[in-house]
Every structure is written in structure tokens, then in C-alpha cells.
Chain A
Amino acid sequence: MNQAIGRIVLTAPRRRAAGRWRWLLILPALLLVLLFLGVPYLNIVVMSFRTPSTGAPYAPGFTVASYAKALSDPLYLGILWRTLRISVLVTALCLLIAYPVSYHLARTRSRFRGLLFACILSPLLVGVVIRCYGWIILLANNGLVNVTLRQWGLIRRPLPMLNNEFGVTLGLVHIYLPFMILPLLGAIQGINPSLEEAARSLGASRIWVMRHVVWPLSAPGVQSGTVLVFVLSVSSYVTPVVLGGSRVQMMAPIVVQQLDEAFLWPFGTALAIVLAITGGLSVVAWFRITQRLFKGAL
């Protein structure tokens, strides 16, 4: 006993000495995030206020001209509007599809439960380009869907499903659906099934139970799922390019084009920041709306 106490006393100063070097553990991660995320983001904010130039990416001096152009040019406002419109539609469709799927998976006692869960996760393990390519195989003019429909004599000319908003919306819903299902699944699994059984045994219909018991209690899942899908859609790059072609232009590809191809750094970054701020404000507005929608539930 005495020996043990002695040892603890002996090791105490050494422990304090080790404590002085603890911060070395966090240093690499902190440097990584500050130097390669913090500073670069600050840099694009500064860049967006630089004076545009024709010969070089930017000229000395500062101006708000790029923001004025980004916020007044009908071309870019139109693309911003389309981006927001498609993202809201994608979010709504994802919620509509994900809710029954999540509810079913949360409550099922099937032995295929693990397999179903793997089906929801597996799209996340397949690259976005590959998943978009899968939709091309299905939806192209000589793709599986059109050819099959023609063989059955249901259509004469192929249905246009690519290079339009339909294709982009469908692709985005597919790619972001797991991001809606996972938070919803977590929220619904957290609801005690006996609450539903109690309501049912008191004579409530299934619909009433869903509307007045399950839905309000799943509010946190609805909120985080919708925010996640909306933010991802607003900033999506691959899907609009691959499934929308040049006809359905969205913000992220336009921003990349301005920077990577046209070398208009101040304008491109201003456009990116306008997109980020619009997206951020939409999320704040959505938080307000859901707070009112779910009243005390959040």
C-alpha cells in the first residue's frame, strides 16, 4: 500500500511534464485545418473584392464590382434561381421517398433487415460519377428504359429524360437519398413503439398515429436530413454536368467555369460567395419554418 502511494507521488511530476507536450497531439490536425481550410477560405473572400483585370486573374485595389455584377446580371440570377428551385424540389422528393423507407426499416423485424440497411448504405460507397453513369445507361435515348418501352410499343419516339431538369432532379434525388434516410432512421428508431401502440389501442387510425405521434417526434431527423440534402444539392457539381449537359446550368459548374476556364478570379469567387450566402440564408429560414411547423417538438 505504502509502496503504491509512493509510486503515485513519484510519477506525479513526470505526468505534469508530459502534460506540457499534450498539445502536440492536436497540432497536426489544427495546422492542417487552419492552413489548408481557414486561410484558403479567407483568401477567396478577399479575392472576391479584388479589382478584375483582363490580362491577369486580378489587378491591385479593391472593389465591390464583382458582387454588383453577380447580383444584377439576369443570366446569373436565373442560374441561381434554378439552383435553388431544383434543390428545394430535390429535398422535398427525398423527404417524401425517405420517410416511408426509414419508418419501415426502423420498425421491421424482418431477417433481411441487415441487407436492407446495406442497400441504403451501399450507394454511398459508389462514386457519384458512376451512379450518374448508371442513370445514363437507363435514361438515354437508346437506354434501357426507352428501348424497353419502344419494344413494348408504348412509345414511338424516345422520351427525353437526359439533358433536362428531369434527369438532373432524378439523379440528385438518387444521390442524396441516403443522406435523408440515415438521420430519419436515427430519429424514428429513437421513438418508443409503445407510444404508437398506445394510440392505436385507444382507437386511433394508422394515419392519425403517423401524423400526430411519429411525425412530430421525428422532427430533429426531418430537420437535419432536409438541411443536409438541400446544402448538398445547392453545391452539387457532377450531377448537373453529367445528367444536365449544357442545357441545365447550375451554380457550382458555372462558378468552376469562371475560375478554372475563364480565370475570372474576383467574379468567380464573388459568385461562389453569393451562392454560399444564399444557401446559408435559406437554411436559416428553413430552421425558422420548421421551428414553427413542429412547435414544441424541436
Chain B
Amino acid sequence: MRTATTAPERVGHAVFVTFVTLAYVFLMAPIVVVVLASLNAGNYLKFPPEGLSLRWYATFFHSAPFLNAMAVSLRVAVIATILSTIIGTLAAVYYTRFTTWGRQTLRMVMIAPMLLPEVLTAIALLLYYYVIGLGTQTLIGLQIGHVLVTMPYVFLNVTANLGNLDPALEEAARSLGASPAAAFSRISLPLMKQGVVNGAMFAFIISFDLFSISLLLKGVDTVTLPIQLFDYLQWNFDPTAAAVSTMSILVTLTVVLLTDRFVGLRTVRF
């Protein structure tokens, strides 16, 4: 199979493999280090570590600001997921089934919130809310921002899923006498479940980790977890932040594993 290799080529291959390995180490190192620091007994992470401890998790569970931020984040992410899944799925059905003209334009409009820089959208929303008198005292403005930027992920996942569906399946049901509603709910809906759930998963994760929009649109009591962590890190570097980060990673990991368990993960192309 492999063509004869010369000595310099073998050296080249070794360099290549080493480089790729180091790249993976580079990708994973900061995340692994955060998890290790959260379990480390000492204030600073050292090798060898100073022993295992859950004390930083205890600090987290006694910190009102962090617990409150976790609650706000979960609430915002769940509401954003529900709303953007409904809105994005309906739009995706319309886009794949009924658009005849202006398809490309409609697609661009739908994914624009994902393509535009988040910080610019956050600024635009902040000034807009002041101008229309909505302000940032309530969660509403922040919540709309989260729905806005997560909707494209649902739209893309569901359109990709529906694009692979054979329209003949639904036509067959129709020709056998099913009403359009019945054909859709009995045939297409179960087949598009995977796309919808994967889209919802992305919406949740994006919303849970969203930064700029949460930062600029936060009110006094509506600080999300990434913002609380960011504020904390301005003055403290103790491993409480690591425990908080690990908890946050666990939340997203749970969502990914649940999705994989129930409908299976799909690979999406950007």
C-alpha cells in the first residue's frame, strides 16, 4: 500500500506526527487544567498536585452570586432554547417547503444573527433598548437577544435535516389519503426529530455560554454565569472559579450526552 519511503521522508513523518500531537495538547490543555485546578487542594495548581479536595465546590455552593448566576443562566438558556427551537423550526419548514423565489436572500436573513459579530449585535441591541424604552432592568431584552442569536443554529440544523428528507414519503402518505396535517405530523415530524433536537442542543449551549450580549444587556439581578465568572476573574484567581467552570462544563456535557443518547449527534458543517 505505502510507497517506498526515503529516510528524510520518515523524519518528516515523525515531525508531522509530533506537531499534530502537540496541537491536540494545545487544544485540550487549558480545559484539562481548569478541571484539575478545581479538584486541587491548594491555591495554585502545581505538579505534583497538593492533593484532592472538593473545598472549591463547597465555596461555589455557598456563594450566593454564583448560585444566582447559575440559576439565571439555566433559566435564560432553557427559555431561549424553547423559543428559538419553535421559531427556527417553523422557519426551516417554510424555507425548505414553500420558498420559490428569494431563497438565498431568505437564508442569509435567517442566519444573519449568527454571521454578524456578537459584540456588534450586543451594542446595537443595547442602544435600541434604550431608544425604545425597554432598558435593561428586566430579563426581557436579554432573553430576546439570546433567542435572536440561537435561532440560526436551529434553522441550519433543521433545514439540513429536511433537505435530506425525500418529499416522496409525504406524497405517498397523501396519495394514500392522509390529510396534509396528518402526513406532516405522522411522516415528516418523526423524521426531522433529530435535526430539531440537535438544533435545540446547539441553541442551549450557545445561550449558556453567550458572553457579549449577556454582558451588555445585563441588569442588576440578571447576571449570567459567564459574566459573573468574568467579573470574579477581574480580582480573584482562586480555584472557586475553576469549580464554577467545571460545573458549567458539566452542564453542557450533560446536554450533549443526552442528545447523543436519545437522537444521536449529527455533524454540522459551518
Contacts and interface: CB of A to CB of B under 8 A. Distances in A.
B interface residue count range (under 10 / 10 to 19 / 20 to 34 / 35 or more): 35 or more
A127 B245 CA distance: 8
Interface in A133-160: 133-138, 140, 142-144, 147-148
Contact of A33 (B119, B126, B148): B148
A104 to B, nearest CB: 5
Contact of A276 (B29, B87, B120): B120
B117 A134 contact: no
Given A137-B237, A182-B269, 18 more contacts: A18-B180, A25-B93, A28-B86, A30-B109, A32-B87, A32-B144, A41-B124, A47-B127, A129-B233, A130-B229, A133-B229, A133-B241, A136-B237, A140-B237, A143-B44, A148-B47, A206-B9, A260-B126
Interface string B74-111: 00000000000011101101110010000000100110
Interface stretch (A65-73, A77-85, A116-124, A284-292): A116-124
Interface string A255-278: 110011000010011001000100
Given A33-B113, A116-B24, A144-B47, A235 B9 contact: no
Interface in A1-46: 4, 7-8, 11, 15, 18-19, 22-23, 25-26, 28-30, 32-33, 36-37, 39-41, 43-44
A177 B44 CA distance: 28
Interface string B115-133: 0111111011111101100
A interface residue count range (under 10 / 10 to 19 / 20 to 34 / 35 or more): 35 or more
Contacts, number: 235
Interface of A: 4, 7-8, 11, 15, 18-19, 22-23, 25-26, 28-30, 32-33, 36-37, 39-41, 43-44, 47, 57, 97-98, 100-101, 104, 116, 119-120, 122-123, 125-138, 140, 142-144, 147-148, 174, 177-179, 182-183, 186, 200-201, 205-207, 224, 228, 231-232, 234-238, 241-242, 252, 255-256, 259-260, 265, 268-269, 272, 276
A26 B95 contact: yes
Contact of A183 (B91, B148, B216, B270): B270
A68 to B, nearest CB: 21
Given A130-B245, A205-B9, A272-B120, A138 B29 contact: yes
A100 B20 contact: yes
Nearest to B117: A235
A119 B24 contact: yes
Interface stretch (B53-61, B185-193, B247-255): B247-255
B211 A122 contact: no
Contacts of B121: 37, 40-41
B148 to A, nearest CB: 5
B37 interface: yes
16 contacts: A22-B98, A26-B106, A32-B144, A36-B128, A41-B116, A119-B27, A123-B27, A125-B209, A129-B226, A136-B237, A143-B44, A183-B270, A206-B13, A252-B119, A265-B127, A276-B117
A75 to B, nearest CB: 20
A260 B87 contact: no
Nearest to B239: A137
Nearest to A182: B270
B177 interface: yes
B33 A256 contact: no
B14 interface: no
B28 interface: yes
A29 B29 CA distance: 39
